[in-house]
Structure formats: C-alpha cells, structure tokens
Structure 1
Amino acid sequence: MTKFVDSPYVLNMREVTRESYNRYWDERNGGNVSYRLLAEEVESYEDVHEVKASFELGFDASAIAGYYYLVTGTGRYFRNVYSRPTLDLGLVKISADGQSYDIVWGFEDGGKPTSEFPSHLMSHIERLKVNPEQRVVFHCHPTNLIAMSFTQPLDERHLSRILWKMQAESIVVFPQGIGVIPYMTPGTNDIGVKTSEKMAEFQAVLWPHHGLFASGVTLDETYGLVEVIEKAAMIFSQVGAQGGKILQEITDQELQEIAEFFGMTPHAGFLDL
C-alpha cells in the first residue's frame, strides 16, 4: 500500500496552488481550495484510516455526509503547499450526520482546514445538485477582476457581458456568466450561504473587493475557469489603459453564434438579440 502524499490528488493540488501563487492570485495566506474525493479513491492508502482530530462544522452538511475532502489549511500560504503538503493540506471526512468532520491525513503540525471551509462545503452541496461530477471549489484573488469590482456596477448581467466581450472563449467557458454577492465579511457562515445561493445558478461567483469562488469537475478545469475570467478582466484593464475607447467589439449576435457553435447556452436575458 502507498501513502496518500504520493497520490495524484495531492500532486495535482500542489501544482495548482503553486501556479496560482505564481500568478499573484494568492498572496500571503489568501486563497483556499477543496477537492471532493470518493471513498474508493482514498481508502486504499495506508495512512488515511486513523482519525487525528474532529471538529464541529457549525451547519448541516448531511447532504455530503461520508464524503472526503482534500483541503488547504487555515493561515497557510499557497507558496508553501508544494514543498510541505503534509503540513498545509489535509484530508477530512464529513461525519455520518453531517454535523462535524474528522481529519484523517495531513495538517501534521495541528492545523485545520481553511476558515472558508463551511463556505466551500455549502457551495459543494449546491454544485452537486447542478452537476454531480463537479468536485472542486477554488477561491483566489484575481487582481484584474477584483479591480473591476471597484470601478464597475456590481451587476451580474453587466459584468458578464463585459467579460464575454473581451475574448471569444469567455462565453464558451462560462456561458452562465458570473454571479455576484454583496460585500460581506469573509470566513463567516453568512457569506457561505450567500455564495452557495449563487452557486446554484453560476459556476463562478465574485466576492466584491476580495476575490472569486469557482467550481468545476477537476482542479485543472476549475483553475482554467479562473484563468479565462481573469484573462478577460485583464484585457478590459488593458483597454482602459489604452484610453478606454472601444472602436470594435464582439457583438451580442456574434456571442450567440459562438455559443451555439460550441453547444453552449448563454444565461437567459444577458444578451441583447
């Protein structure tokens, strides 16, 4: 039997967190990731069968009872995850009644999951309803997207249209657009509830003046979603830096044609057709 630290799940988490840090999306201890794993993917490893610590969740997670989650730690720096995964990552199992979780691997120095863990789990619950294949929730601080939250109306249709129009791939990667919640204090169950409500409709949700919550089937897919959103926001920032005057654009009709070609359905009411 092999150890969990050598699993492809830990390796993938190490790679993605390092890349996100290198892109300046996760300064200091900013950002967190959770990755739902199935029992058959976990329980063959020799070092995941002992409960190291148990903690109350503070909300009802019975919808995901028994699931495992590989998650980054509270107060931990993404730049360190690659070199010390057994300290800065942990594998937890949600209790049978959904009220608590057990740490079964990692956090070897006594750490705990990110303070945003309840927000992650609430979003996981909602995304499971939308697409049971989605297993990842990724929170980071994309620079240009955050900047837009200071200069643009915090309106889902408005922001989605800007991001779609900045590059042809946007409407293919996130045809639902982008959800938006009001500014709220991070780390609370309240922001988790608001985010999960939006996650029922959107695969990515903006936390104004703070960052982005994104979801997907795999770590790579979810990271790619953030990449595309942030690239569109970067182009918008560059347009502003070049004077902000748009002489030509991708039209709404052209956006619809792109979506149809790739078999996507844009968010109802977001295009003027």
Structure 2
Amino acid sequence: MTKFVDSKFVKKISEITYASYDHGWDERNGGNVSLRIDAADLTEYEDIKTVKKTLELGFDAKPLAGQYFLVTGTGRYFRNVINQPKLDLGLLQITEDGQKADLLWGFEDGGKPTSEFPSHLMTHIERLKFDPTHRVVMHCHPTNLIALSFTQDLDEGHISRLLWKMQAESLVVFPEGLGVIPYMTPGTNEIGRATAAKMKNFRVVMWPHHGIFGVGASLDETFGLIETVEKAALIYSQIGAQGGKIKQSITDDQLRELATAFNVTANPKFL
C-alpha cells in the first residue's frame, strides 16, 4: 500500500517548513502553510479514504467544496514538521456545503489546522479567480520586512518602490508590488477577508508588525517570492547599519528598462 506520509507532497512541505524555520522566519509555533492538491494526484494513497473527524471552518468555503488541502497544524513548530509530519500536518477535504472540512490523514495526536486556515482558504478562493495554477498559501514572519512596518509609511507604493530599488530581482519577481493591510488581530476572519481582498491585485501581502502572506503555483515558487521580498528588506536594513546614506540607487528609468528586459509589467500606480 502506498502511504501518504511518503508522498512528494508531505516531503516537500516538510522541507519548506524546515527551510523557513532555518531562515529565522518561524520562531516557536509561528507560521503556517497550505497546499491545494488535485484529487487525481491522491488516487494511489489507500490510507486517506476514511474520514477521521469533521471540523467546523467558521465561514463559508463553498467555492472550494470537494477540494483537498495539506495544511500545517495549530500550535506546531515548523522545525519539527520534517521529523513528525503525521502529527504536524493534516490532509483535509472541504465538505460539499463549504462549512466544514473532513480530516483524512494526519494530526494523529488530536491536532487541528492552523488558526489561520480560514484566512488561507479565503485567499485560495480569491487567487483561483485570477490564476487556477495557484495552489499554495504561505504565512511567516520575515524579520527585516516586519521591521520595515515600524519605520516606513504603510503605503503600498512607497514600500513596493523601496523594495524594488534594493535589488534588480525584486521587480522581476513581484512586479505588481506588495500589498499592505492595517494592523489587525491574527487568527480572525476579519484579517482573512482583508488579506483576500488584497490578493485581487497582489501575490504577497504585508501584515504590519506581524509578517507576510504569499501565494504561488508551487511551494518552491511561493517560498522564493517571500525570500526575495525579505532579501530586499534585509539589504535596506544593512544600508541602515552602514550609516543609512544612499549614494546611488536603481532609478525609475532603470526599473522600466528592467521590466522590459524581463517581459514583466511593473505596477503602473507605483512607477
């Protein structure tokens, strides 16, 4: 029998969560990830055919009815997932009425999905309207980006331009820029709705004084998106450590040339 714990999905999410911890983005039980998996990719696993329990979602996820999600658990440490995936991960299927999720695998010690799972599902719903290949939502706490939320105006155009100008890769990787929501209490449907609304125009959203939400077609792509944003914020922090005086920088014209060279469209509101 092919076991789901040996699947490429469990292996990859275990690697990504450890890498995120190793980068310093997920202290203690900080951070969460969800991966949408197609039913056709699950047919070979015999140990996910029985519903272990059914969980209330607390909001209407009917647009995702029947969809499968591999998600990290609430209160779990990213550094541990790689060694105990059957405890720290769960495979869930959204029920047909969209109000609940059936647990098919994982959380073997009685665990539950991350408290941000409704926020993840809201973002999945929104992104699927724009790009059906998007199947990953990742939330973590990148140090230097969080620091920016204390020292910079919480203006999307300002922060996006700042990050674009820190390195050539930024504009290429996130040409639409960075979405920003006001500070809100995490783990609530309110912050989930605010984040999902931003996902109409962005693939990465800052939660001021807290962290970041990113989406992508794969775990690697989503991790790389957040990694690029955080690298740009790190460079800005290093500039401050070196005295803060910028003698030269990437210009607006050079950003436009960069967009043309890599065939991306820079957010016209920010340039």
TMscore range, shorter length: over 0.9
What is the aligned partner in structure 2 of residue 148 from structure 1?
A: 148
1:10-21 equivalences under 5 Å are: 10-21=10-21
Amino acid at match of 1:267: N
Q: Distance in 1 between matches of 2:99 and 2:191?
A: 19
How far the C-alpha of 1:132 sits from its partner, in A, is 0.5
Amino acid at match of 2:79: R
Pair 1:66-2:66 in alignment: yes
Amino acid at match of 2:80: N
Write out per-residue CA displacement over residues 52-76 of structure 1, whole angstroms, 9 at most, x where no aligned residue.
1101111111111100000000000
Q: Is the 8 A contact 1:86 1:107 kept in 2?
A: yes
User: TM-score, normalization: structure 1?
Assistant: 0.98
How far the C-alpha of 1:113 sits from its partner, in A, is 0.3
What is the aligned partner in structure 2 of residue 80 from structure 1?
A: 80
Q: Distance in 2 between matches of 1:237 and 1:122?
A: 32
How far the C-alpha of 1:103 sits from its partner, in A, is 0.5
What is the aligned partner in structure 2 of residue 164 from structure 1?
A: 164
What is the aligned partner in structure 2 of residue 93 from structure 1?
A: 93
The 3-state SS of whatever aligns with 1:196 is helix
What is the aligned partner in structure 2 of residue 176 from structure 1?
A: 176
Q: Distance in 1 between matches of 2:269 and 2:188?
A: 32
Q: Distance in 2 between matches of 1:116 and 1:219?
A: 18
Q: Distance in 2 between matches of 1:38 and 1:267?
A: 32
Tell me which stretches of 4 or more aligned residues in structure 1 moved more than 4 Å: none
What is the aligned partner in structure 2 of residue 253 from structure 1?
A: 253
Supply the RMSD in Å over aligned alpha carbons. 0.6
Q: Distance in 1 between matches of 2:123 and 2:225?
A: 16
Amino acid at match of 1:66: G
Write out per-residue CA displacement over residues 230-272 of structure 1, whole angstroms, 9 at most, x where no aligned residue.
000000000111111111110111111111111100112201x
Amino acid at match of 1:115: S
Q: Distance in 2 between matches of 1:193 and 1:125?
A: 11
What is the aligned partner in structure 2 of residue 114 from structure 1?
A: 114
What is the aligned partner in structure 2 of residue 34 from structure 1?
A: 34
Consecutive unaligned residues of structure 2, counting only runs of 5 or more, are: none
Q: Distance in 1 between matches of 2:84 and 2:246?
A: 47
Consecutive unaligned residues of structure 1, counting only runs of 5 or more, are: none
Amino acid at match of 2:90: G
Q: Distance in 2 between matches of 1:111 and 1:63?
A: 25
Pair 1:264-2:254 in alignment: no
Q: Distance in 1 between matches of 2:14 and 2:58?
A: 28
Amino acid at match of 2:228: V
How far the C-alpha of 1:200 sits from its partner, in A, is 1.1
What is the aligned partner in structure 1 of residue 185 from structure 2?
A: 185
The 3-state SS of whatever aligns with 2:26 is coil
How far the C-alpha of 1:43 sits from its partner, in A, is 2.7
Amino acid at match of 1:4: F
The 3-state SS of whatever aligns with 1:33 is strand
Could you tell which deviates more after superposition, 87-96 or 258-267? 258-267
What is the aligned partner in structure 2 of residue 199 from structure 1?
A: 199
Q: Distance in 2 between matches of 1:105 and 1:96?
A: 19
User: TM-score, normalization: structure 2?
Assistant: 0.99
Across the two proteins, how many residue pairs are aligned to each other? 271
Amino acid at match of 1:248: Q
How far the C-alpha of 1:18 sits from its partner, in A, is 0.4
Write out per-residue CA displacement over residues 153-212 of structure 1, whole angstroms, 9 at most, x where no aligned residue.
000000000000000000000001000000000000000000000011100000000000
Q: Is the 8 A contact 1:14 1:85 kept in 2?
A: yes
Q: Is the 8 A contact 1:43 1:49 kept in 2?
A: no
